[in-house]
A and B are shown apart, each in its own frame.
Chain A
């Protein structure tokens, strides 16, 4: 008896929940409104069946509940009824399937005028490639990937020379232009998905998958990886900026081509040494770090990392006066580096400084720190040596007080929360596994115990041009 009423209530509640739920599809921002229509049809068909079956179920349970005087009917089958039910069900199924298949045939045939963009997935970030002026993407192969050629583009294919490389999680697309995304993966399966666009597709290492859509609304949308890709799967996010054609072209022009990324300017060590004079007071004459002035050790850091941080400071992505007063002086000093060549010289000078042989080490439980470090080691290396491929800086060889402060900065969102800090933001969520002061001390103590003489090949790589940020300078400030 109760069960009949409860089933009725559940049916009503489900329907009410469905209509009042604030949790529903995000407003669509692409051309795939047909998908939403198909979902609506499916909802109507399945909704009606759900209500009818369960209301009838509740009725039967109520009407035919046990009574001593009552005898059940004896009816092994009813051909006519069963045939009718099969026919009606089949019609319902066709009503859902037919529009579905039609939309699917649209989905798998991109229009002729769709422009191509390549999406490259790796654990746990996104990069992109535009075909450049010739409109053709150069050949690429995972086997060609190395530190100097992270996109794995073939140097033998001239079509690839003008390809534009976006070494960032952020992709820009022009509004109302159909785009065909060609996808490949460096390591494992990923899935490129933007809820507002409704469509998604896996990235599969070893082959190129594709799908297409037309962004129809300007705005910034989140990209999620939706195929489990390892420990930091949940951090594999990006953003897609849909903007007017002119803005898009301006952005695109500031990105380096493949050829430009291969041309390394000669660094001038003498100029670099002169430039370094302004660093000595805080970072020490050998880049060993000065605690009293909050200057971390820098001589052991990889060039790509130093460069990224200099650019970040220069554009106040790090070192904002109000939230990060300790980093602010660095932001001021970074303003004095006016061009690419100066940064280059400075980094070249820092790189040849002797590596530190002594850092201050915190007191803490190394064993506990080791187990906490398990999740860090995947990106930063089991010896804290850093990994260029994962945008993870070297940790071993850094002072305890600096590491601890950065971890605190990440957990207080002083660092990494800036929308243009494309790689630092992964630390925001990662650092949450450190729950208290004690955890911080333990993990810093463990990092201090790591050997820091070993320098991996990755450390000595040439930095790849960072996406140019000057255009959006005003926005940053």
Chain B
């Protein structure tokens, strides 16, 4: 064989032997993916509880004695940071990236399995450091997830000492973990694709993960740079970002630095970060939609180009987070224009998802429900983004609840919808069992309707002008009685949605043992991960021979074929096609 892959050089010493090498110090991408997943979901639950506490205070101010202004800000900060970085980034790339890349491109593993393992343990370390900051003197940082100096490192902010230091160290460690993982994903996608898997035959999931990983590799250094400099400002009294300040009546020794410089660096990372989360979600939802609609993804090439274009453009829009930051106001023209340009490829993706459903044969399974929910929430979140991206419209709306509503819709609810779709979709491959269908439907409906009940009203509080990150509004004229009751209703919805996620966790654990047994290819998928010889796939994925790819990833309902899908590794009509019958129980009746 001329195409001997690294992992193809079957090396028996490499196979895990004991429990520890199999499940703890594992170098198998699937085990690492699950480790990433469990850790991310765990910290995600912590962040979910924090958001519940925040909402309790906002909906029912002056009721709970365990929430004071300082701890409220700590909840805000840790909730944001955990959700964006330690949950979404880690679960989408560390979890699904790890699981899907080798399986979907037909490799036995990542090209550097040891590095991959190291990446997970470094990530775990960063999570531990982050959570440890709750227990140090002064508590976790309460600087908001954007960590703007000078506020973040001064004593008027909770966690201005140990909290912020641990936060910055944790971020630096996370970035190292991500870089190790990211180099692995990119190299694997570029170098370890199986025979026949050209770039344009890759499923969109892989395209999304691939471009997102590149974005991550190029954007996280900006966060690292700003974290390092802020750490020096805090610990060694340098003045990279610190101007002369009089903090709480005390003249500090800083001088000359520029807080806006930090904001530029932060958002140079922060905006691509939005797409680091969004692009894998775009990719995975495309595959879920195509599979369950039994139809090829509409405009595959356009979808790929849009992913690449969005990835590229995401580096030139960062200052739209800074329209009212006091930066040179002429930047507003440039960044408003680029921001609204990015709306075009994004809109095309939405059209193409809907057009994929058009003339399809849609199976309303739980993953499909989540995918349709995603189209709705993402459309909503994307359109409100046009308000904030357009520089003058941003003036009244920035720093209000409109912003909170917008970004939760577009990068909170939407990616989470995709994550759920993906978990329900690939769970049968990962474990060999279905997740419980009935619980899944409850989970979907309550999450979908509940989150809309949370975030739609938030936009309207923003129109009123209610500022974000306020512990309480007090007797402001803005907070009329009706607005206060709206706020309370948001809290009630939030608590319901929060509790419903426990149903999902229960479903995960219960189905692991008691879920209905799933066949190897329960949804009739074309992509390679459904064609593994065993389910769940064994170490090495493919048995003795690697699969060979003959066609693109979306041959659904090809005219002239009795079966409504043709796997990628199937050569031209072999003749022994069995008619495909979907699993009736998994279908909506």
Q: Do A and B bind each other?
A: yes
A residues neighboring B (CB under 8 Å): 1-3, 6-7, 10, 14, 17, 21-26, 32, 34-35, 38-39, 42, 45-46, 49-50, 53-54, 56-57, 60-61, 64-67, 70-78, 81-82, 85-86, 89-90, 93, 96-97, 100-101, 103-105, 107-108, 122-123, 141-143, 145-147, 152, 183, 186-189, 191, 193, 195, 198-207, 209, 222, 224-234, 237, 374-375, 378-379, 387-390, 428-430, 432-433, 435, 439, 458
Cβ contact within 8 Å between A42 and B387? yes
Within the complex, what minimum Cβ distance (angstroms) separates A440 from chain B? 13
User: What separation, in Å, do the CA atoms of A189 and B293 have in the docked complex?
Assistant: 50
Q: List 9 A-B contacts (CB under 8 A).
A: A3-B372, A38-B393, A71-B361, A75-B298, A108-B329, A186-B245, A187-B248, A198-B396, A200-B395
Find the residue from B361, B392, B564 having the highest chain A CB count within 10 A. B392
A53-B379, A75-B298, A101-B333 given; A186·B246 CB < 8 A: yes
Within the complex, what minimum Cβ distance (angstroms) separates A308 from chain B? 16
Q: Return the contact of B143 from the options A35, A85, A228 (Cβ within 8 A).
A: A228
Q: Which residues in A have their C-beta under 8 angstroms from that of B486?
A: 23
A64-B357, A66-B364, A100-B391 given; A228·B144 CB < 8 A: yes
Chain B positions 308 through 346: 1 when the CB is less than 8 Å from some CB of chain A, otherwise 0: 000000000000000011100110110011001101100
Number of interface residues, chain B, beta carbon within 8 A? 124
Q: Which residues in B have their C-beta under 8 angstroms from that of A224?
A: 465, 467, 476
Cβ contact within 8 Å between A195 and B465? yes
Within the complex, what minimum Cβ distance (angstroms) separates B453 from chain A? 10
Q: Which residues in B have their C-beta under 8 angstroms from that of A96?
A: 340, 386, 390
Chain B positions 25 through 55: 1 when the CB is less than 8 Å from some CB of chain A, otherwise 0: 0000000000000000000000000000000
A389-B248, A428-B474 given; A73·B243 CB < 8 A: no
A71-B564, A206-B243, A378-B155 given; A35·B376 CB < 8 A: no
User: What separation, in Å, do the CA atoms of A70 and B360 have in the docked complex?
Assistant: 9
A64-B361, A108-B329 given; A229·B156 CB < 8 A: yes
Q: Which residues in A have their C-beta under 8 angstroms from that of B456?
A: 14, 17
Number of A-B contacts (CB under 8 A): 363
Within the complex, what minimum Cβ distance (angstroms) separates B501 from chain A? 20
Find the residue from A38, A57, A228 having the highest chain B CB count within 10 A. A228
Q: Which residues in A have their C-beta under 8 angstroms from that of B150?
A: 187-189, 205
Q: Return the contact of B359 from the options A73, A90, A374, A378 (Cβ within 8 A).
A: A73
Which residue of chain B lies nearest to A62 when distances are taken between CB atoms in the complex? B362
Cβ contact within 8 Å between A202 and B324? yes
Cβ contact within 8 Å between B357 and A61? yes
Within the complex, what minimum Cβ distance (angstroms) separates A43 from chain B? 8
**The stretch of B163-171, B209-217, B421-429, B552-560 that contacts the partner chain:** B552-560
Which residues of chain B from 43 to 101 have any CB-CB distance to chain A below 8 Å in the complex? 61-62, 65, 68-70, 73
Cβ contact within 8 Å between A187 and B392? no
Which residue of chain A lies nearest to B559 when distances are taken between CB atoms in the complex? A74
Cβ contact within 8 Å between A64 and B359? yes
Cβ contact within 8 Å between B375 and A101? no
Within the complex, what minimum Cβ distance (angstroms) separates B439 from chain A? 17
A228-B148, A387-B248 given; A86·B344 CB < 8 A: yes
Does chain A have a CB within 8 A of B350?
yes
B residues neighboring A (CB under 8 Å): 61-62, 65, 68-70, 73, 142-144, 148, 150-151, 154-158, 243-251, 255-260, 293-296, 298-302, 324-326, 329-330, 332-333, 336-337, 340-341, 343-344, 347-348, 350-352, 354-355, 357-364, 369, 372-373, 375-376, 379-380, 383-384, 386-387, 390-393, 395-396, 398-400, 449, 452, 456-457, 460-461, 463-465, 467-478, 480, 482-483, 486, 554, 556-559, 564, 582, 587-588
Cβ contact within 8 Å between A3 and B369? yes
Within the complex, what minimum Cβ distance (angstroms) separates A408 from chain B? 15
User: What separation, in Å, do the CA atoms of A96 and B344 have in the docked complex?
Assistant: 13
Cβ contact within 8 Å between B361 and A67? yes
Q: Return the contact of B259 from the options A107, A145, A205, A374 (Cβ within 8 A).
A: A205
User: What separation, in Å, do the CA atoms of A471 and B192 have in the docked complex?
Assistant: 81
Cβ contact within 8 Å between A143 and B251? yes
Cβ contact within 8 Å between A75 and B354? no
Cβ contact within 8 Å between B386 and A42? yes
Q: Which residues in A have their C-beta under 8 angstroms from that of B478?
A: 26, 195, 222
Cβ contact within 8 Å between A89 and B347? yes
Q: Which residues in B have their C-beta under 8 angstroms from that of A193?
A: 399, 465, 467
Cβ contact within 8 Å between A187 and B393? no
Within the complex, what minimum Cβ distance (angstroms) separates B339 from chain A? 9
Cβ contact within 8 Å between A231 and B142? yes
Within the complex, what minimum Cβ distance (angstroms) separates B499 from chain A? 21
A39-B393, A202-B326 given; A387·B249 CB < 8 A: yes
Cβ contact within 8 Å between B61 and A432? yes
Cβ contact within 8 Å between B452 and A10? yes
Q: Which residues in A have their C-beta under 8 angstroms from that of B251?
A: 143, 145-146
A74-B557, A104-B332, A142-B244 given; A433·B69 CB < 8 A: yes
Cβ contact within 8 Å between A230 and B157? yes
**16 further interface pairs, Cβ-Cβ under 8 Å (given A46-B387, A389-B248):** A2-B588, A34-B392, A72-B293, A72-B564, A90-B344, A96-B390, A97-B390, A100-B336, A123-B156, A123-B247, A188-B245, A207-B326, A222-B477, A230-B151, A230-B154, A390-B249
Q: Which residues in A have their C-beta under 8 angstroms from that of B350?
A: 53
